[in-house]
Each structure stands twice: as structure tokens, then as C-alpha cells.
Chain A
């Protein structure tokens, strides 16, 4: 089964500063990779995904992530944080060896300081 590690359960950034959320996974085969965002009392919204092709993936709301196979990482970044980015972020990996079941990281809560 896949293992997904998100470094840091809480991240605090200033408005306008870089947002960097880290995600590492364990896999014997290249997986599909996803980032989701969850606002309070809501479901998960897909930010971006990597399946094949270009390793730098751009998503919604100015977020992007880069798949680095050698580092088994899929870190999420946004150059300039906005107050509306305050939410919980989940990295997820689709396990090709297990019928593509999604395994989630524990989540990172982002707070944005004015």
C-alpha cells in the first residue's frame, strides 16, 4: 500500500509570501499524484494532478507542483499567499498496484497572516 507523508501539520505564512507544502510518497511504481484543498465544513476540491507528461503541473488559484521521481516528492507551491488560501491541504497518491485507490496524507493546515 502507498504511504503519503506531508511534512508539517501546520504552516503559517504572511500574505504575499511563498507557500510551500511538502509531500513525499512511497511507491514501487510511478503513481498518480494529487493535491486537494478543504475549507471548513466542505468536501475536498482538486487543486491539481500529475498523471503523465510534464512534471511541473499548474493548478487552480495560482498553485503548482513538481513531480520529482528521484526524490519521490510532489511539493505544492504558490508564489504569493492570499488570505483566501487559508485552508487544509491534502496530498493524495493513486495506487496503481491497488486498483488506483487514493491514499491521503495527514493534511497541512495553512494560516495566512495579514
Chain B
């Protein structure tokens, strides 16, 4: 059974650019969540999607957005990149809230 797949694994972008990250959940999982992990702030919740609808959103600026497709695959986009956006972005999928989340290996974004 394939796990959660995130692409790309590594990205280097310049300040002011935009970036799109992709996440393919485990087959059958309809809930997809995104987290940002940095040494200073730890793991912070970005947003959650369920059946193509954003169900919850964390406390991030509007530059961070996401979407989910009918096959449950999800993308997140960050516009007008800032140096502080450098982080490991983790995607997680779940069958239900009491089942726990399965995480992907993450996308390491570096903004220069």
C-alpha cells in the first residue's frame, strides 16, 4: 500500500517567487492536512481539506493557499515568497479523526 507522496522533495526559490507543492494521499483517504515545520516555530497547522472543501485553516497569511482535487490529491501554493517561508512542508492524510494521520516525507523549501 503506497504511503503519502509529496513532490518535489527539495525546492530552492527566490524571494518574491511563488511555489506549488503537491501531495498524493493514501488511497481511500479523503482528508488531507498541511503543516509547516521550522526549527523556531515547530509544527504549525496550515489547512485541512476534505472532499475538495477546506474544512479548517491555521493562522497563516493569505499568501498560503491550497486546494484538493476530486481524486483527493492536494496542492498548496505560496505566493510572494519570503525568507521566513523556508521550512519543511508536511502533508498528512487520514481516514478519520480518530485514526491518526499518515505523513509524507515532506518538501524542503529553501527561499534565497
Contacts and interface: CB of A to CB of B under 8 A. Distances in A.
A96 to B, nearest CB: 8
Given A32-B98, A90-B43, A104-B42, A99 B55 contact: yes
Interface in A37-77: 41-46, 49, 51-52
Contacts of B102: 46
Nearest to A6: B42
Contacts of A34: 100
A102 B33 contact: yes
A101 interface: yes
A9 to B, nearest CB: 10
Interface residues of B, number: 23
B90 A44 contact: yes
Interface of A: 32, 34, 36, 41-46, 49, 51-52, 90, 94, 98-107
Given A98-B56, A99-B48, 7 more contacts: A36-B103, A43-B4, A44-B92, A94-B97, A99-B56, A102-B35, A103-B45
